[in-house]
Structure 1
Amino acid sequence: MAAFDLPLDQLERYVPDLPEPDDFDAFWLKTLVAAAGPAVLEVRPEPNDLALVDCWDVTFGGFDRQPVRAWYTRPAGHSGPLPAIVEYAGYGRGRGLPHERLTWATAGYAHLLMDNRGQGDLYGSGGDTPDPESGTAMGGPGPATRGILSPYDYYYRRLITDAFRAVMALRELPGTDPARIAVIGNSQGGGLALAVAGLIPDLAAVLVSSPFLCHIQRAVSLTDLAPYGEIATYLSVHRDAEPAVGNTLSYVDAVHFARRATAPAHFGIGLRDAVCPPSTGFAAYNHYAGPDKTMHTYRFNGHEHGDAVHTRSQLRWLNPRLHPA
């Protein structure tokens, strides 16, 4: 894919005026209050056939207190409180198997990998969390369009609440330092990390790459690739639904959450990303309220952004913030 979005100098100045719902904060406060309660529901040791990390199968209470699964992984034999990370997976992916995501635990962090409710069938090794609400509201079959006619029914209201509650659960798990928690995600996971950063004021850091759910209506106008293409396809059939869909999406757009987020932030974007167009991620970055923020761009990369090179950048940026000398 050749570069198709704005040139870099314009991306760096791109601060679109995105109107947000008048009741945006009240909507999310009401949603999160309804999910309140003990976060951790069950913790079971999980054999992972590895010598250097220990793992537990965690179930926590997510949206409407519904059970959500996660893997909790720590450096083996470490008993003291560790800085901790909540990681959110990409679109169509579940939590997979306990030995798949080892970077953060082997770097010395406690690591919680949240399952995506109702996802896990597109790639990876599957998921373990159903979405009980998936068949109760009008909308398309994929997560991007489930319940899309109402912000109260929309799939991402549930998933963002799960993501928020995952941080609450990690704070309750033994061996974590609740004052040193970061959230991280790529693509859909990046959008979730931004949302959580806007909902939790005392995070230690947020790391975002190729974020989904940013400046959503622009993204739908620029790309036909999923997940945004699923929304366009839905509207090609339901031609009169555009006002309702636009209203729903305005409640989950990560640009609005970014305006409220203040934690130190590390971003990464591939300038040839046709899945999550660069201008949409820059919209979130340029609106991001916290003063300590950095952007890494990859001129010839797409949705994979900097891949392992970017992970190295994340490690080098995060370690002094969560492992202070």
Structure 2
Amino acid sequence: MPLTDLDLDDLRTYRPDLTAPAGFDAFWADTLAGARAADGPVTARLRTDTRLTAFDVYDVRFPGWRGEPVAAWLILPRRTTEPLPVIVKYIGYSGGRALPGEHLLPPAAGYAHLVVDSRGQGHDTPDHGEGDGTQWAEGFMTRGIDAPENYYYRRLITDCVRALDALPHLPGTDPARAIVSGASQGGGLALAVAALAPGQVAALLSDVPFLCHFRRAVRITGDGPYPEIAKYLRWHSREKEEQTLATLDHFDGVHFAPRASAPALFSVGLMDPVCPPSTVFAAYHRYGGPAAIEVWNFADHGGGYGSTPLKQLDWLAEQGLAPKTA
């Protein structure tokens, strides 16, 4: 597989001039205030049927967008006796929280692990939609794209922020040491949360992030979810192109990045056909806090594969966020 974008020297200097839409901060402040006003219960039910003898697994529900319940798994090392740093994981596109056995590496390393379902994409958190329900192409990228108020990612990002609000109500977690994380869509969601809840995030792990630099990504990407938007614009371009791109600007990692301040570790694959490297670097270069980026020269969208968690655990230890049991 060849390079899919600029070469590394050009990526290291790629700093496009980008401006957040007017009212960006007010839009998100109002969105989160509305979700928190709706509120709802946080529940954590201990599962006794997993056969995971080294771990305690809780089936969690917490209030998300408009107080609607969002599913999550909370996985702890067995017999946790004190609050642990917690890795909050957001999921890649078209996936949900799946099964607890798929998320054992962080608790095996001594962390609490909260795995957040993606509304509509997983099986346990439905998405009821907003506005005119626009969804022209397959998937979620055009759902409600007629206006920022209706767009699917307004609801999903709100859910992800509210996961941090739930931490004080969950066993075994230390909200003061919350690490937001994810790959692809999950990496983009984690970046958004780091910006929208800066006082609640101790560190960010954003692996090959999606949802960054939309205006470039939809023009140069031939694989993955971005082409859903290109297909939509192919038929509606003349009357809806700028309206659509203006909607996407409200959910773009390049605009969230300057508003985040927690230490961050990004990663990028230079042969990634799904999240072009220039879109990742555009967000990374604008990040508002201390940040490093792991570059995988010959990687596709899988990035560093099995090497990535090891790099992340080492980096978290450098930030003083290793659990005492690790």
TM-score range for the pair, normalised by the shorter chain length: over 0.9
Q: Which residue of 2 aligns with 1:117?
A: 119
Identity of matched residues, %: 51
* Further displaced range: 127-136 or 145-154: 127-136
Quick check: 1:133 aligned with 2:132? no
Quick check: 1:285 aligned with 2:284? yes
Change (3 A) 1:134 1:100: farther
Q: Distance in 1 between matches of 2:4 and 2:174?
A: 43
Q: Distance in 1 between matches of 2:255 and 2:72?
A: 27
Question: Do the aligned partners of 2:85 and 2:323 also contact (CA within 8 Å) in 1?
Answer: no
Q: Which residue of 2 aligns with 1:214?
A: 212
Query: Counterpart of 2:102 in 1: which secondary structure?
Result: coil
Of residues 300, 303, 311 in structure 1, which corresponds to 2:301? Answer: 303
TM-score w.r.t. structure 2 length?
A: 0.94
Question: 1:53-72 alignment to 2 at 5 Å?
Answer: 53-72=55-74
Query: Counterpart of 1:244 in 2: which secondary structure?
Result: helix
Query: Counterpart of 2:100 in 1: which secondary structure?
Result: coil
Q: Distance in 1 between matches of 2:166 and 2:41?
A: 5
- Aligned-partner residue type, residue 44 of structure 1: R
| Residue 200 (structure 1) shift | 1.3
Question: Do the aligned partners of 2:270 and 2:300 also contact (CA within 8 Å) in 1?
Answer: yes
Q: Distance in 2 between matches of 1:293 and 1:19?
A: 21
| Cα displacement string for residues 119-143 of structure 1 (whole angstroms, at most 9, x for unaligned residues) | 03xxxxxx31100116852232421
Q: Distance in 2 between matches of 1:80 and 1:2?
A: 48
Question: 1:106-185 alignment to 2 at 5 Å?
Answer: 106-120=108-122, 127-133=123-129, 136-140=132-136, 141-185=138-182
* Further displaced range: 315-324 or 203-212: 315-324
| Residue 68 (structure 1) shift | 0.6
Q: Distance in 2 between matches of 1:309 and 1:82?
A: 24
Q: Which residue of 2 aligns with 1:99?
A: 101
Change (3 A) 1:171 1:14: farther
> Runs ≥4 in structure 1, deviation > 4 angstroms?
37-40
Q: Tell me how large the CA RMSD over aligned residues is.
A: 1.5
TM-score w.r.t. structure 1 length?
A: 0.94
Change (3 A) 1:118 1:135: farther
Query: Counterpart of 2:74 in 1: which secondary structure?
Result: strand
- Aligned-partner residue type, residue 266 of structure 2: F
Query: Counterpart of 1:73 in 2: which secondary structure?
Result: strand
Query: Counterpart of 2:57 in 1: which secondary structure?
Result: strand
| Residue 324 (structure 1) shift | 7.4
| Residue 197 (structure 1) shift | 0.5
Change (3 A) 1:211 1:268: same
Question: Do the aligned partners of 2:269 and 2:297 also contact (CA within 8 Å) in 1?
Answer: yes
Q: Which residue of 2 aligns with 1:313?
A: 311
| Residue 165 (structure 1) shift | 0.4
Question: Do the aligned partners of 1:59 and 1:67 also contact (CA within 8 Å) in 2?
Answer: yes
* Further displaced range: 133-142 or 307-316: 133-142
Q: Distance in 2 between matches of 1:132 and 1:41?
A: 20
| Residue 39 (structure 1) shift | 6.0
- Aligned-partner residue type, residue 243 of structure 2: A
Q: Which residue of 1 aligns with 2:45?
A: 44
Query: Counterpart of 1:145 in 2: which secondary structure?
Result: coil
Question: Do the aligned partners of 2:130 and 2:151 also contact (CA within 8 Å) in 1?
Answer: no
Question: Do the aligned partners of 1:89 and 1:185 also contact (CA within 8 Å) in 2?
Answer: yes
Which runs of no fewer than 5 residues in structure 1 stay unpaired? Answer: 121-126
Question: Do the aligned partners of 2:131 and 2:150 also contact (CA within 8 Å) in 1?
Answer: no
